[in-house]
Amino acid sequence: MYTADKRNRRTPDWHTDFSPRGSFLSPELQGIISATVAAQPQCGFARPAAIPGSALNFFGRNITLAARSTAIDKSDFLGLNKGLNLSSVHCNSTARPKAFSTSGQPKMAESTNALRYVDIGVNLSDPVFRGEYHGKQAHEDDLDDVIQRAKDVGCSKFMVTGSDLVESKHAISVASKYPGFCYATVGVHPCQAKLFDEYPEGAQKMLQELWTLVVQAKKDGHVVAFGEIGLDYDRLFLSPKEPQLKYFEAQLDLAVEIQLPLFLHSRAASEDFERLLAPRMARLPKRGLVHSFTGTLEEMHRMIALGLDVGVNGCSLKTEENLEVVKAIPLERLQIETDGPWCEIRPSHASAKHLEGAPELPKAVKKEKWQKGCMVKGRNEPIAIARVAHVIASVKGITVEEVCEAAWNNSIRMFGLGEKSA
């Protein structure tokens, strides 16, 4: 269930009208910083007294990219021709060796290359991304802004989750609106399995409509996976076990027939889940993944043995046990996601201590006080995928680049997403 996070996690607030000061900066770099700051949303940043190293750290990625695009000489870009002591400047363009943070957690080397992400599970068709909450319009549609914020941190591919027949159509609609960036999954979530028996024209008719929808959308290049399907025994009050089992099996057979990789959901149902999957995996060359994985270490190893990848988001990082599982996921079987608008990383989660040095998120405000360029409190967004990757890297004791490159390659190999597999 979508619930607002009551905690106010304000980030530094830098105003857009500040001018960089400090004679150690070259004129070219001052111009780049001015342009970078001017491009930030009004709600994002407050005015500093000067431009210390922390400012360069915040803008490091944008400045680095701008410097590359304008062909500024590296020594001039870094201010070396001014006799600058770089030990006082913390810029992301300079990699540092792994060290330990004040919390005792491994600290990754900072990014030296532009990172790229696939958010393999995000519910962009949810009404909250159009400003609608519980049937009431709280603010204007800001889906374009949500997608652009994610693109700005390197997230250029989004898999929009389908959870029933209607929502799958909405996911395809989003994919058609953002071609080359958004792709849909189509399927009926286990918590919605009872809809088959409630369908006015019967369950078989609903399965036929699902088949028709998937086949056409696959032909159009909008659908890349069959799902979200699976079993959820934690929420049997939403759909009983019998229809979950019956229609999970029926949808697996559709996926085999249509030849789409699986986008899977499993909660407290590993025995039945694996029993139904195992005999079909050989007929699915691209296999699939278990998204939003929260199972045990033993369950994770069994998923890997079946040939499945494992999707990790904020819900996969809540407890110390979760972190141990994520630490053990082989890089070649890892994919990352946000599951927005849900599954954000919260201060109470075990993952929170691994956020030191993670990219800051834009300022978040209550939905009633929405401002363009700001996030909404309690509404997770794909921009937060950078923090998921950061936590995974910290837990594994490797660089964010290693996490991102492995996850990107795994996602492209399995789902295509308009890219050639490495």
Q: Where are the beta strands (DSSP E) in 90-237?
A: 99-100, 106-107, 117-122, 132-133, 136-137, 155-160, 182-186, 223-232
| Strand-pair category, 117-122 with 334-336 | unpaired
Distance CA 167, CA 188 (A): 9
Chain centre distance of CA 44 = 21
Residue 103 lies in a domain: no
Same domain? 86 vs 133: no
Give the CATH number of the domain where residue 227 resides. Answer: 3.20.20.140
Same domain? 38 vs 133: no
Same domain? 89 vs 122: no
Distance CA 405, CA 115 (A): 8
For residue 191, the enclosing domain spans 117-415
Could you tell me the maximum CA-CA distance found in the chain, to the nearest angstrom? 77
Backbone angles phi and psi of 351, in degrees to 5: -70, -20
Cβ atoms 389, 400 nearer than 8 A: yes
Same domain? 41 vs 166: no
Same domain? 80 vs 220: no
- The pTM is what? 0.76
Tokens matching residue 179 = 């071609």
Beta bridge mates, 119: 158
Residue 100 lies in a domain: no
Please give the tally of structural domains in the chain: 2
Three-class secondary structure of residue 119 per DSSP: strand
Same domain? 298 vs 364: yes
Residue given tokens 């021709």 in the structure block: 81
Same domain? 136 vs 241: yes
Task: Give the pLDDT confidence score for residue 420 in this predicted structure.
Answer: 87
Task: Give the pLDDT confidence score for residue 421 in this predicted structure.
Answer: 81
Distance CA 325, CA 339 (A): 19
Tokens matching residue 359 = 């990219």
Between the CA of residue 218 and those of 115, 249, 287, what are the distances in Å?
A: 29, 21, 17
Same domain? 306 vs 341: yes
Same domain? 131 vs 84: no
Task: Give the pLDDT confidence score for residue 43 in this predicted structure.
Answer: 53
Same domain? 77 vs 145: no
Nearest to 238 by CA among 192, 205, 272: 192
Domain stops at, among 79, 94, 109? 94
Chain centre distance of CA 77 = 32
Same domain? 70 vs 141: no
Task: Give the pLDDT confidence score for residue 78 in this predicted structure.
Answer: 32
Nearest to 277 by CA among 301, 299, 308: 308
Residue 143 lies in a domain: yes
Residue 420 lies in a domain: no
Tokens matching residue 405 = 């490159």
Tokens matching residue 27 = 């004129």
Could you state, in chain order, the average pLDDT of each consecutive group of 10 residues for the chain (422 residues)? 34 32 42 48 41 38 36 32 31 31 42 83 98 98 98 98 98 98 98 97 98 98 98 98 98 98 98 98 97 98 98 98 98 98 98 97 98 97 98 98 98 96 77
Domain stops at, among 94, 125, 149? 94
Residue 40 lies in a domain: yes
Same domain? 182 vs 276: yes
Determine the length of the chain: 422
The count of C-alpha atoms lying within 13 angstroms of the C-alpha of 162, restricted to the half-sphere facing its C-beta, is 32
- List of long-range contacts for 325-332, beta carbons under 8 Å, 24+ apart: 325/293, 325/295, 325/296, 325/297, 325/300, 326/392, 326/395, 326/396, 327/395, 327/396, 328/297, 328/300, 328/301, 329/300, 329/304, 330/304, 331/396, 331/398, 331/402, 331/403, 331/406, 332/406, 332/410
Residue 106 lies in a domain: no
